[in-house]
Structure 1
Amino acid sequence: MTGTTAGRAAAGPDTSGVGVLDKTSQLLGALARGPASLRTLTEITGLTRPTVHRLAVALENLRLLTRDRQGRFVLGPRFAELAAEAARDRLLLGARPVLDELRDRTGASARLYRRQGDLRVCVSSAEAGPGRGRVFVGVAQPMKAGAAAQVLLAWEEPEVLHRALCGAGFGAATLAGVRRQGWAQSLAVGEAGVASLAAPVRGLGDRVVAAVTLDGPVATLTRTPALRFAGALTDAAVRLSEGLVR
């Protein structure tokens, strides 16, 4: 057995054999339980205070850690970004069959939107046919109106919501309703005579990563599409979500 192999064997299955990585893993494992002060992290990990401080500050610079209002360390936004990126291909690979079935079940166009900054981008689509309301994959639209925008914003942090609602065609009360009912609907947003219904697709940590929508003429979706189609849409959203967390 070589020295390297012997070192790895001695390290055990839960360690890498690289000291700084193992200490970082201990730190992140402790924070997976929830926010923690420097003192608490030192007690949980058994590492020295200078070591914990040095690692925590370095991870904070990489946005892998951040701090809450009490100054405690918490897992940072970079983890959510990495998780979303890892789920991106899985979501798109699983989307088309679900969207096709949703379109066939309802007679409306079924689409998947993802948020990119101040825009919502159509990343997959099953069109019901030519006509009004047609949106092609890759088309980006503002996050200021529409059912998909409401769903993509409703579960965001308060400071994000405050900025996003400036100039939007909906307010905080509307988004509170979206969170309560689990879907959003809109009528004649962007084009007269077109209705839309949207529900959240959730990834790891129950984070909203996309919005699945039904779009079509009022003659198909009616003026209150949720009354007839909310069940089918939320079923599709659950299927897409399950594909991300298995």
Structure 2
Amino acid sequence: MGQHSGIGVLDKAVSVLTAAAATPLSLAELCGATGLPRATAHRLAVGLEVHGLLARDAGGRWCQGPALAALAAGAPDPLVVAASGVLPRLRDRTGESVQVYRADGLSRVCVAVAEPSSGLRDTVPLGARLPMTAGSGAQVLTAWADEGYRRAVLAQATFTERSLDLVRRRGWAQSVAEREAGVASVSAPVHASGGGVIAAVSVSGPVDRIGRQPGARWADDLIEAARSLSAAL
């Protein structure tokens, strides 16, 4: 359970909070991650939920609660901090617009962006909320999500489960005029230390310039950038 304060119940509560806030966990997974008995883990998780530090997602798994996010709001976002060093290099290498997206419900939010200084661009404003149903970034964020979430997205998506299988096999996604006419993009997953996908890094631009197979041009650069972001986290 990491460090010990000498206050047993506090140490156990922190271990539950740390495990479930890092990645959504079922009760069984929470017990496995913390080594706590089922009844103890459940009691502590419910208590943390009462205080808003943990919550339950649509699948009933324990995850970060709104109060925890509010407490962290005053601190720098590690993903955004890491992106500030990685995205400019990717933009300069590709000459195209680059973004980082994070899933938020059935949407994805642009949390970091770097734009070329000139030329026709695919400008995605910082903070823009895009649907999870189209685009290479949406494919990446959905491909590594749990089955219930994938089903919810695929019910309305322009891509299919077969498409997501391909994304997982090759480690990146591409789209052409999927989210917006005339725009193509390619994206790669950013992994947390525990291995889960927490974001997607993307390159996007006009189809006429980057072609109908953007992955052939930029996938290697995207994967390298995604690994740099993952390492920084």
| TM-score, normalising length: structure 1 | 0.72
Aligned residues of 2:98 and 2:203 also touching (Cα < 8 A)? yes
Whether 1:95 aligns to 2:96 is: no
Partner amino acid, structure 1, of 2:44: A
User: Which residues in structure 2 correspond to 1:94-133 (within 5 Å)?
Assistant: 94-128=82-116, 129=118, 131-133=120-122
User: Residues 140-163 of structure 1, C-alpha deviation per residue, up to 9 Å, x if partnerless?
Assistant: 111110000000111111111111
User: Residues 96-150 of structure 1, C-alpha deviation per residue, up to 9 Å, x if partnerless?
Assistant: 2311111111121111111111111111111123535221111111111000000
Whether 1:76 aligns to 2:62 is: yes
Map of 1:62 onto structure 2 = 48
1:219, 1:37 → 2: CA distance? 49
Aligned residues of 1:194 and 1:217 also touching (Cα < 8 A)? yes
| TM-score, normalising length: structure 2 | 0.76
1:16, 1:215 → 2: CA distance? 48
1:97, 1:24 → 2: CA distance? 35
Aligned residues of 2:158 and 2:178 also touching (Cα < 8 A)? no
Moved more, 164-173 or 88-97: 88-97
Map of 1:72 onto structure 2 = none
Length, aligned pairs only: 214
| Offset at residue 24 of structure 1 (A) | 4.8
2:3, 2:101 → 1: CA distance? 38
| Offset at residue 82 of structure 1 (A) | 6.3
Map of 2:226 onto structure 1 = 237
Partner amino acid, structure 2, of 1:99: L
Choose 1 or 2 for highest CA Rg: 1
Q: Once superposed, which parts of structure 1, at least 4 consecutive aligned residues long, lie more than 6 Å away?
A: 25-29, 85-88
Q: Secondary structure at the match of 2:215?
A: helix
User: Which residues in structure 2 correspond to 1:14-93 (within 5 Å)?
Assistant: 14-22=3-11, 24=13, 35=28, 53-54=39-40, 56-60=42-46, 62=48, 76-78=62-64, 89-93=77-81
1:181, 1:116 → 2: CA distance? 25
Aligned residues of 1:185 and 1:226 also touching (Cα < 8 A)? yes
1:148, 1:22 → 2: CA distance? 38
User: Residues 168-188 of structure 1, C-alpha deviation per residue, up to 9 Å, x if partnerless?
Assistant: 101111111111111000001
Map of 1:4 onto structure 2 = none
Partner amino acid, structure 2, of 1:114: R
Which structure 1 residue ranges, 5 or more long, are not aligned?
A: 1-12, 67-74
Identical pairs, percent: 42
Q: 2:213 aligned to 214, 219, 224, which one?
A: 224
Change (3 A) 1:200 1:168: same
Change (3 A) 1:240 1:19: closer
Partner amino acid, structure 1, of 2:181: A
1:27, 1:193 → 2: CA distance? 47
Higher helix share: 1
Map of 2:139 onto structure 1 = 150
| Offset at residue 60 of structure 1 (A) | 4.2
1:243, 1:208 → 2: CA distance? 14
User: Which residues in structure 2 correspond to 1:8-19 (within 5 Å)?
Assistant: 14-19=3-8
Change (3 A) 1:23 1:206: closer
| Offset at residue 23 of structure 1 (A) | 5.1
Map of 1:167 onto structure 2 = 156
